[in-house]
Amino acid sequence: EAAELGKGSFKYAWVLDKLKAERERGITIDIALWKFETPKYHVTVIDAPGHRDFLKNL
């Protein structure tokens, strides 16, 4: 889906970016978490804003 909209380079962030504005602009505006477990590990994937205008959302 990301590649179809010309945002292929954002494919990993795309999974956690749910806001329409995030997907349209290709930037993370708000923090998102995804947790999962394997038999050996507990994993947390964090997608956080990197653009200075959105650092206040951290």
Give the tens place of pLDDT for each residue, 18-29. 788 887 887 788
Non-local (6+) Cβ contacts of 56 within 8 A are: none
| pLDDT digit string (tens) for the chain, length 58 residues | 767 777 666 667 777 787 888 878 877 888 888 899 999 999 998 887 776 766 665 5
Q: Closest by alpha carbon to 31, among 2, 54, 12?
A: 54
Predicted TM-score (pTM) of the model is 0.55
> What is the C-alpha separation between 19 and 23, in angstroms, rounded?
7
